[in-house]
Amino acid sequence: MPTHTALTSADLREIRQSALGAADPLGIAAELADAVDAGRLTDENDAGFALMLAAEIAESRTKLDAALRYVERAVNTYATRDDSEVGAARALRARILFRSGREDEAMAELEPLRPLLTRYPDAAAYLGAALAVGGRNQVAEEWLTEAVRVALAERAASTEQSAEPVSAEDAGLLFFLLQQRHRIRHAIGRPHDAHDNLAERLESKLARAGASAAAESADDLLFWPHAEFDSMVVQWPALSQSYGGTWDQHRARLERELVRLAGTGRTGLTLLPGSVAGLIGYAGRDGEPADPKTRASYARQLAAGSRQINWPPERNEPCWCGSGSKYKKCCLPRSRG
Ligand SMILES: [Zn+2]
Ligand SMILES: [Zn+2]
């Protein structure tokens, strides 16, 4: 990364993409804070983002004191900006406090953020991640239940028709809340209720829509190589629902999907290796990177390019995922997991 030169918004996105895999991530975090201090950001509105980034880098290396210093500066920087950004920064602070064993302070930080759950997807994702890191599944279930109730009531008040959303897209943030709640309730062994049933109906509609989109564009198989996957889930925590919570889960999903497609008689199957920078660049022209439509059309663009990975490799060839292992010892067995 450039040193002692101005950092543009594009530089910051590039750093976000590459920092976790860099040789000296803590040096990069310090450099980011230094750039804020020295006024070396091309757009001074990026200061909060740069400090959040520094905090998450330090957190990922369990330098929790440094992470707290950075995130507190981010909170102060955002204090005069909108609720969504300062909410995300406060939720990140709570997450780092949980990791530091300061649980009461973490909960005190999160409590006032509850109303953000029904308003801002980014803040809601940070909030959910903080409660998960803190092992607060019961609290998360309670808050999400209340947020779903509020979101449904607001929906009913604003539409003439049925309050129940007809698709995941139509449901928007409500779908995200329903899904999170559904997953947590399974994790803590609660029986299905009406909201869980709604979550599953919307999830299966989304899956069917995805399956028909895949059938149309023969190759809609977006693959995140390991380093890309890691920075993707840091940047958009909610996308772990689309691509898997870990890289192993991501590879297993793709392998199973490819096996399934091959079973329907499809040939010439390929994986489409995506990148965070590529998706951001694509969305720059077309919209929000985390939006399912943006990702689907990004995948179609990749399918039209020349960098697809053919599937399946021979059993003794290197695996398609880039791990360096033989296919028969890597992703081939994942389809049976
Ligand atoms: Zn269920
Ligand atoms: Zn593999």
For residue 108, give every residue at least 6 positions away whose Cβ sits within 8 Å of its Cβ, in sequence order, or none. none
| DSSP strand pairing (222-223 vs 309-310) | unpaired
Q: Which ligand has the minimum distance to the alpha carbon of residue 182?
A: 1
Q: Which residues, chain by chain, have CB under 5 Å from ion ligand 2?
A: 319, 321, 323, 330-331
Distance 327 CA to ligand 2 centre (A): 6
**Residue 290: which of 237, 212, 229, 252 has the closest Cα?**
237
Distance 128 CA to ligand 2 centre (A): 30
How confident is the model over 73-87, as a mean pLDDT? 84
| 262: enclosing H helix or E strand | helix 247-263
What is the rounded CA–CA span in Å between residue 180 and residue 333?
Answer: 29
Distance 114 CA to ligand 1 centre (A): 24
Give the sheet arrangement for strand 309-310, strand by strand: 222-223, 270-273, 309-310
What is the rounded CA–CA span in Å between residue 287 and residue 329?
Answer: 39
Distance 189 CA to ligand 1 centre (A): 10
What is the rounded CA–CA span in Å between residue 192 and residue 185?
Answer: 8
Distance 237 CA to ligand 1 centre (A): 21
Distance 200 CA to ligand 1 centre (A): 6
63 backbone φψ class: left, alpha, beta (φ>0; ψ -120 to 50): beta
Comparing 34-43, 81-90, 189-198, 211-220, the range with the smallest average pLDDT is: 211-220
Name the DSSP class of 316: T
The token pair that represents 255 in the structure block: 């392998």
Give the HSE-up count for residue 271: Cα atoms under 13 Å, Cβ half-sphere: 24
DSSP class per residue in 133-162: HTT-HHHHHHHHHHHHHHHHHHHHHH-SS-
Q: Which ligand has the minimum distance to the alpha carbon of residue 178?
A: 1
Distance 13 CA to ligand 1 centre (A): 36
pLDDT 10s digits, 265-306: 777 888 999 988 888 887 775 577 778 778 887 888 787 777
208 or 333, higher pLDDT? 333
Q: Which ligand has the minimum distance to the alpha carbon of residue 333?
A: 2
Distance 176 CA to ligand 1 centre (A): 14
Q: How confident is the model at residue 241 (pLDDT cuts 50, 70, 90)?
A: confident
How confident is the model over 197-202, as a mean pLDDT? 90
Runs of H (alpha helix) within 159-239: 168-171, 173-187, 194-216, 226-235
pLDDT 10s digits, 154-192: 888 876 655 678 777 777 788 889 988 988 898 888 999
- Is the pLDDT at 332 greater than 60? The verdict is yes
Distance 43 CA to ligand 1 centre (A): 45
pLDDT 10s digits, 305-321: 778 888 999 999 999 99
How confident is the model over 193-204, as a mean pLDDT? 90
28 contacts 1 by C-beta, under 8 angstroms: yes
Distance 220 CA to ligand 2 centre (A): 19
